[in-house]
Amino acid sequence: FFAAVALRRYPEYRNKPIGIGHGWKTDSHGRPIPVREGHAPEASGTSKEGRKKSYSELSTCNYKAREYGVKKGMFLHQAKLLCPDIVILPYDYEGYEEVSSLVADILHDQAEKFDGAVEQVSCDEAYIEIYLSKEDAKSEGHHRQET
Catalytic residues: 125
Helix (H) or strand (E) holding 64: helix 63-66
In contact, 117 and 46? CB cutoff 8 Å: no
Q: Measure Cα distances from 37 to 62, 75, 112 in Å.
A: 20, 13, 51
Helix (H) or strand (E) holding 78: helix 76-82
Q: Is 115 left (phi over 0), alpha (psi -120 to 50) or beta?
A: left
The 3-state secondary structure of 80-137 reads HHHCCCCEEECCCHHHHHHHHHHHHHHHHHHHHHCCCEEEEEECCEEEEECCCCHHHH
